[in-house]
Amino acid sequence: MWLRRLRIRHFRNIEDAEIDLVRGVNVWIGDNGHGKTSALQALHVLAEHRYPPGIGDMDVVQWNAPWMEVRAVMVTAEDTEVVSRYGVALGESRRRVREGPILPAVWFGPADLSTVKGGPGERRDFLSQVAATLYPRYSPLLRRLERAVMQKNRGLREHWPSPALDSFNEIVATTGATVWQLRKATLDRLLPHIYAIHRQLSETSSLAIQFQQGGMEGDLVLEAEEVRRRLNARFGEERQRMVSLVGPHRDDLGVELDQHSARTYASQGQQRTIALAMKLAIYHVYEEFFQAPPLVMLDDVFSELDGRRRALILEYMARHDQQTVITDTEPRDLGTCHPTFYRVVQGVFQPWP
């Protein structure tokens, strides 16, 4: 599946833009702050019916407008055309329009490095983002779990008596077990690809990534009954410390390079290689899972990559059955790709040259 004829209205600093997309490589050139990344975010919302991590409704609707809409024509695998649409109207009650099939998308951006360098939350986001695309029940489940943890924490802080608080603990256990199962399944799909790509980029160092269940020790526990038992076992301690200690909200991925924590000991370059391997692995997982290559979005990443890593990414883009959108501050040599260019000035997109 791929998208053509993209139209973006009232999205961030873009008033109204029409961009012709081609199958293959699309490059949007422009100075910083002119709307390239905004347009790419709009494309992500349209493709996955979901925002990229870190933004929400309130961030995307243009400041002086009550609504935003992104639409495009989606060409399906059977070569039929359907309209794909995502819109939000703010106001006293928020309305949302989603139309058209979901097109899995992989986003590369300067913030990817934080998957290795940042805190556990960033690694949870990495897993969640993939899990949500593979398993539609993941996002609603995670939202329910997060709310249950908030309720439980409030109860713990205010020393609620047991029976009333137990029910929230119970929900943390049951939804938590499922979230753990889905995260584990997601990681199992990603790992072989992460390792293979990493070996390709770095012959000398060996990478090991481990799922660390929040507040649990020893082997993974995924079965609901056992999860409940383990949660109950630490409930007393949670009461004492007045905070939830066990659950997916405290998960992390242990990323080790040659048996040392990559977060602390790896060089910036090594961290970048790991982050790139993790991202490219998503591409493979989506391709396997959906039996079609995903939409690839590269937000201002070439300036930070050395020749070898750039060449690897270009290898992926050279595949003709896939759609790629790149934002950059200047046109650069993209090897065998024959990209279509757009120039972006103040939120206005013009074909170029």
Partner 1 sequence: MLYPAPIQDLVNELAKLPGVGPKTAQRLAFFLLNRPQGEAELLASAIVNARRRIRYCATCFNFTDQDPCVICKNPNRDSGLIMVVEYPKDVVAMEKTHEFRGRYHVLHGTISPMDGIGPDEIKTRELLARIKTGTVRELVVATGSSLEGEATALYLGRLIKPLGIRITRIARGLPMGGDLDYTDEVTLLKAFEGRQEL
Question: By three-state DSSP, how is residue 198 classified?
Answer: helix
Q: How far apart are CA 194 and CA 200, in angstroms?
A: 10
Return all residues near 267 (Cβ < 8 A) that are at least 6 apart: none
Q: How far is the CB of 128 from partner 1 (least distance, A)?
A: 16
Q: Which is nearer to partner 1, 137 or 229 (CB)?
A: 137
Alpha-carbon distance values, 182 to 15, 132, 135, 187, 244 (Å): 39, 9, 8, 9, 21
Total residues binding partner 1 (CB under 8 A) = 24
Query: 67-93 in b/e burial notation, b at 16+ Cβ within 10 A?
Result: bbbbbbbbbeeeeeeeebbbbbbeeee
Q: Over the Cα atoms of the chain, what is R_g?
A: 22
Residues 113-152 that bind partner 1 (CB under 8 A): 136-137, 140-141, 144, 147-148, 150-152
92 in contact with partner 1 (CB under 8 A): yes
Residues 157-176 that bind partner 1 (CB under 8 A): 158, 160, 163-168, 170-171
Residues 234-253 that bind partner 1 (CB under 8 A): none
Q: How far is the CB of 151 from partner 1 (least distance, A)?
A: 5
CA dihedral defined by 148, 153, 155, 159, rounded to 10 degrees? 160
Q: How far apart are CA 124 and CA 293, in angstroms?
A: 24
Q: Which is nearer to partner 1, 211 or 286 (CB)?
A: 286
Q: Which is nearer to partner 1, 58 or 164 (CB)?
A: 164
Q: How far is the CB of 284 from partner 1 (least distance, A)?
A: 24
Q: Which is nearer to partner 1, 79 or 92 (CB)?
A: 92
Q: Which is nearer to partner 1, 144 or 184 (CB)?
A: 144
Q: Would you state the structure tokens that stand for residue 63, as one six-digit string?
A: 């400041």
Q: Which residue type occupies 244?
A: S
Q: Would you state the structure tokens that stand for residue 199, as one six-digit string?
A: 């070996």
Q: How far is the CB of 122 from partner 1 (least distance, A)?
A: 26
Q: Which is nearer to partner 1, 163 or 307 (CB)?
A: 163
Binding region for partner 1 (CB under 8 A): 92-93, 136-137, 140-141, 144, 147-148, 150-152, 154-155, 158, 160, 163-168, 170-171
